[in-house]
A = this chain, B = another copy of it.
Amino acid sequence: MGKSMSSLLRKWTNLGKFKNMYRDNADRYGKTTAAYGPFSRHRYCKNLQLCHFSNMTFERRSRLDDVARDAGVSLATVSRAMTRPELVRATTLARVRSSAQKLGYIPGGVARALVSGKSMTVGAIVPTLDSAIFAKTLQAMQSTLSQAGYLLLVASTNYNNDAEVEAIRGFLARGVDGLFLVGAERSRQASDLLRNAMVPVTLGWCADPLFDAVTVDNHLAGALAARHLLDLGHRNIGMIAGQVSSNDRQRKRVEGARATLLEYGVALPEWLVSEQPLTLAGGRQGCAVLMSAAHPPTAIIGGNDILAIGCITELQLQGISVPQGLSVVGIDNLELAAHVTPPMTTIHLPTGRIGEQAALSLLRRMANPGPPQEIELPVELVIRKSTEPLST
């Protein structure tokens, strides 16, 4: 109806024949909108909103102009009162604040983000949230960021590169102000996205010359574990690790161990490295594999604590006591490592500090641009009761 009416109108006024009549159109839009006002999407919904837990409609959230009206000032003044109170007179400020309080005003971060270009959120992409390591890192990160008024968006990839690309794209689309990622290896597509992101990126655990990074020396962690066992006299050492082809942290740890062993003339052949999922079950499975070899090792390095603890469990089940029958050393120093029986020797990685430092790095870089910077955090051997000298 409305449509044919307006096409009739078009004929009558013969407007269709004119070009460059944008102003004219605008005028008509003005009138039309006013006429259709109450029925147009925006006008109609503008002051009402459906309540999600009762199907009733309520008044919408209050905006800057509601507060302005209530306080009898302009919207701009309210905005300034909110963000730069030193610019408004004390009496006005008080009036605005009490109005805001009264109306339960909550600033609209979305609009704010649009105009300022800052969303006050950073995104973190980790392989999985369901891991003590990443959980601890994210906890530290979130806590540091929130002190600076930033919120943390999280995504997990399940160690899948395509999921990572999707997550990056999603975060970029949401306009995050910074990005945290684990490891330095990723698909070409992901790298391209990051390089063109124009958003600070900080990597965790491993470094890439293109980005900021908070790292630990994974190679050294492996080396330290190996050296400890060598020092105890072990010469037949096995390792249970994650999938080295897709996990640069695990790969470097294996390489570090291998290189150190080699210094002592001890080989770490493929068949003494069992690649397993990074779970307790994986640790047990890896242990079973290694122990079923012709010459089972006298000591085992876990690529992380979870693998090492799984390994200890399996050994105990097989009736092999730790450390008398076999020494086990882990990497990470989870809280758990100190509380298993026997308390586990492991390489301490400052997991929480990685998150904290990554947050600080992001915060710094958001404030001042500059060349990429790597912060390397120290790793350290923690000797407990799961390792002992080789009994001859």
In the complex, which of the residues B60, B110, B198 contacts A52, with contact meaning CB atoms closer than 8 Å? B198
The interface residues of chain B lying within 8 Å CB-to-CB of A132 are 130, 132, 135
B143 touches A210 (CB 8 A): no
Residue A293 CB within 8 A of the other chain: no
Q: Please tell me if the beta carbons of B370 and A55 are within 8 angstroms of each other in the complex.
A: yes
* A-B pairs, 5 with minimum CB distance: A129-B139, A130-B139, A135-B135, A280-B339, A109-B173
A198 contacts B51, CB within 8 Å? Answer: yes
A175: nearest chain-B partner, CB-CB: B110
A8 interfacial by beta-carbon distance below 8 Å: no
Chain B contacts for A200, CB-based, 8 A: 52-53
CB distance from A357 to the nearest CB of B (A): 16
A153 to chain B, nearest CB (A): 5
* A172 on the B face (CB < 8 A): yes
Across-interface contacts of A107 in B (CB, < 8 A) = 173
A132-B132, A280-B339, A340-B313 as given contacts; A154 in contact with B156, CB under 8 Å: no
A151: chain B residues at CB < 8 Å are 153, 155, 170-171, 174
Task: Count the copies.
Answer: 2
Give every chain B residue within 8 A of A108 (Cβ-Cβ).
173, 175
B residues near A61, Cβ cutoff 8 Å: 198
Interface size on A, residues (CB 8 A): 79
* Residue numbers in B under 8 Å from A109 (CB-CB): 173-175
In chain A, residues 119-153, which have Cβ atoms closer than 8 Å to a Cβ of chain B? 119-121, 128-132, 135-136, 138-139, 142-143, 146, 151-153
Would you list which residues of chain A between 52 and 68 have a CB under 8 Å from chain B? Answer: 52-55, 58, 60-61
- Which A21-55 residues sit within 8 Å CB-CB of chain B? 49-55
- Contacting pair B198 A121 (CB below 8 A): no
Asked whether A198 and B154 contact (CB < 8 A) given A54-B369, A138-B129, A341-B316, the answer is no
24 A-B residue pairings within 8 Å (CB atoms): A50-B369, A52-B369, A53-B365, A54-B371, A55-B369, A60-B198, A106-B169, A110-B110, A120-B174, A128-B139, A129-B136, A130-B132, A130-B136, A132-B132, A142-B156, A143-B158, A146-B166, A152-B154, A153-B153, A280-B338, A281-B339, A313-B339, A313-B340, A341-B341
Taken together as a complex, chains A and B put the C-alpha atoms of A166 and B146 apart, in Å, by 10
Residues in B neighbouring A339, C-beta threshold 8 A: 280-281, 284, 309-310, 313
A104 within 8 A of B: yes
User: Cβ of A175: which chain B residues have Cβ within 8 Å of it?
Assistant: 108-110
Chain B nearest Cβ from A245, distance in angstroms: 24
* A90 shortest CB reach to chain B, Å: 24
A340: chain B residues at CB < 8 Å are 313, 340
B280 touches A336 (CB 8 A): yes
* With A119-B110, A170-B151 as contacts: A131 and B135 at CB distance below 8 Å: yes
Q: Please give the distance in Å from A60's CB to the nearest CB on chain B.
A: 7
Over the window 161-179 of chain A, the binary record of Cβ atoms lying under 8 Å from chain B Cβ atoms (1 yes, 0 no) is: 0000011011111110000
